[in-house]
Every structure is written in structure tokens, then in C-alpha cells.
Amino acid sequence: MSAVCIVKHNGQTLRKQYKEKISGYRQWDQLDHAEEYTLFPENLGENLSLDETSLSNGDVYTILTNKAAKGRKGALVAMVRGVASDTVSAVLRRLPYKGRIAVKTVTTDMSSAMMLTVRSVFPGAKLINDRFHVQQLISEAVDQLRIRYRWEVLDAENKAISEHRQKRKQAKTRLEKELIGKWEPESMANGETMPQIMARSKHIILKNRSKWNEQQTARAAILFERFPRLQQAYELSMRLTDIYNKKITPDAARLLLARWYNDVESFDSPEFNCVLETFMNHSTTIVNYFEDRLTNASAESFNAKIKAFRSQLRGVCDVRFFMFRLATQYG
């Protein structure tokens, strides 16, 4: 047997011994149901976050975490396979009722299923829509408008190429064909073509103009001159960010958001219909952010740690043992 094979064999043996003999995995009191759910009622706190993550086998799990733990030991309250409200709620109701009614806030994304779960399991908690998910909604609307204009630019270029090719085809002499010349796309002031500018502008419209570099500033000037409505959409997106950044009362926020909503409505773009409907349906849970300015940042951080942990293990082959490892570190 070669040295490489011996090392590999010894490594596998050590991993198996750790799992079966040293770790305490076989004596774990949640082993039987770990693939479906894990619960840590001792980690319940006043301010929770509800999020979801996907394991490498494609299964999606709902994760309930305690903000106070800041992604460290004691952060994990529950992990439930699936996202359906009925399934997740049934498991979370196994947490002690006394602990559940003591929860003051739960922050989540815009998922209707998650919001229904929060209302079902934590009846006394204030539901908060995470500000970054709300902002992401309008950022995506602005980008959809950019994509629409990008297709218009590409269609116009393809039409121009076809017309140019047709002219060369109809040329009666070689000299006439040479005078028509080869197709050359229009070069803008910064040296790029318009299709290139459209393709490279995604990150421009997602960032505040104060964070643009010199190239992006030049690109944005051309983009907004050609498509002024895209600039209007961008300004609406930045205004929402400015509102969220203000340290104001919920009442003051409600007033600013109402004015902003009216301006989005007046903008009258189909890409923003979903934004308008979301604010109409979830205005209270959106405004709730301005009470204590709580976000899902800790949940997103915890989710990132799970992904990193999953990467270290090169995927999740044994879900129950993966859950055990998470429990020992964060439960």
C-alpha cells in the first residue's frame, strides 16, 4: 500500500472514530429527528431573526436565530427542513409557550410564508421586514428597467447592422461597396459602445453615486443622458436608502415613505408595480424597522457561516451529522 493510500485510509479512520466514538454524536438527544428539525429552546430571546438557507443537496431549511448571540454560541434557536408555513410553524410551536410569548420582535425578509409563521408562532412579537430586502426590491426594479433599455439598444444595433449589410449587398460596384465601408458601432464619449455601457451599468445603479469611480461616473453620465427615466428610477431608489439611513421616528418615516410612494406611483413604470404592491400590503411591518432599527444582518451572517462550514466539509453528505456539528458550535 502506498504512503498516499495509508494517509487517506488513516484520515478516514480518524473521521469515523471522531464521529462514532469521540464526538458524542450517537448520544445526541436530537439525533432521531435532526434531518427534519433541531430545537434549542434555551436560546430563545427577545429579538429573533427568521431566514432560510440551502444545503448542498438542494434541501432548504428555515433558520431561527437569536440576535443577542451575534452569530456565536447560543445563536441557533431552531432549524427546520422546508419553508412551508404549516410545516415550520408546527415545529416551532414545540418551543415553550412562555418563551414564545416573551419574544418582542422577529425580523424576516418579504416572504409571505415567513411572515405567516411569525404571526402564528410568536403572537406577541412585532414583525419587522428587513430593510435590506426592501431596498433590494426597488434595486431589482431599477435593474429591470435597465435591462429593458438594454434590449432596446441591442435591437437598434441589430437593425442598424442589418440595414448596413443590405446596403452593401445592393451596391452595384466595388467602389460603391468600398464607400459604404464595413460596419462600425458608434463609440461614445468614454470610448465604449452603447451596448457595452448598458451591460456594464448594473453595478452603477446599485450603488450610491458617492461610491462610483471615475469610469463609472463617466458611464453614468452617458447612460442617464440617453435614458433620463432610468436616472429618475435610480434617484427614487437612492431616496429610499436615504430615508432608511435617517434616525427618525416611525411616524416621521411613515410620512416620508408616503411621499416617496406617491412619487413612485407617479413615475408610472411597470417594473415598479411589485414595489408599490409590496409597500401597500406591508407598510406596517416596513415602518416597524424605525422603532429599534433592527435588521436581519445577524441572520445573514449566520447563514454565511453555515455556507463556509458546508464548504469546509466539501458539501453535506450526512445531514444529521452536519446538524450535530452546527449544534455543537452554535446551539
Q: C-alpha cell of 25? A: 454524536
In a domain, 84, yes or no: yes
Helix axes 273-281, 250-267, angle to 10 degrees: 150
> What parts of the chain have a pLDDT lower than 70?
1-24, 56-57, 310-317, 331
Q: Which residues contact 190 (CB under 8 A, 6 or more apart)?
A: 197, 215, 218, 219, 222
pTM (predicted TM-score): 0.84
pLDDT digits (tens, 9 = 90+) for 149-205: 999 999 999 999 998 888 888 887 888 877 878 888 889 999 999 999 999 999 999
Cβ–Cβ < 8 Å for 65, 77: yes
The total of structural domains in the chain comes to 2
DSSP codes joined into one string, 45-89: -SEEEEEEEE-TTS-EEEEEEEGGGTTSTT-EEEEEEB--HHHHH
Q: C-alpha cell of 3? A: 504512503
| Same domain flag for 144 and 266 | yes
Strand order from edge to edge, sheet including 60-66: 37-39, 76-81, 60-66, 47-54, 105-108, 126-129
Q: The CATH number of the domain where 300 resides is what?
A: 3.30.420.10
pLDDT digits (tens, 9 = 90+) for 203-227: 999 999 999 999 999 999 999 999 9
Q: Give the mean pLDDT of the chain.
A: 88
| Same domain flag for 137 and 126 | no
In a domain, 14, yes or no: no
* pLDDT attached to residue 5: 45
The range of the structural domain enclosing residue 278 comes to 133-155+192-284
| Same domain flag for 150 and 236 | yes
| Same domain flag for 317 and 244 | no
Cβ–Cβ < 8 Å for 298, 132: no
Write phi, then psi, for 65 (nearest 5 degrees): -125, 155
| Same domain flag for 140 and 203 | yes
| Same domain flag for 82 and 198 | no
Q: C-alpha cell of 106? A: 422577529
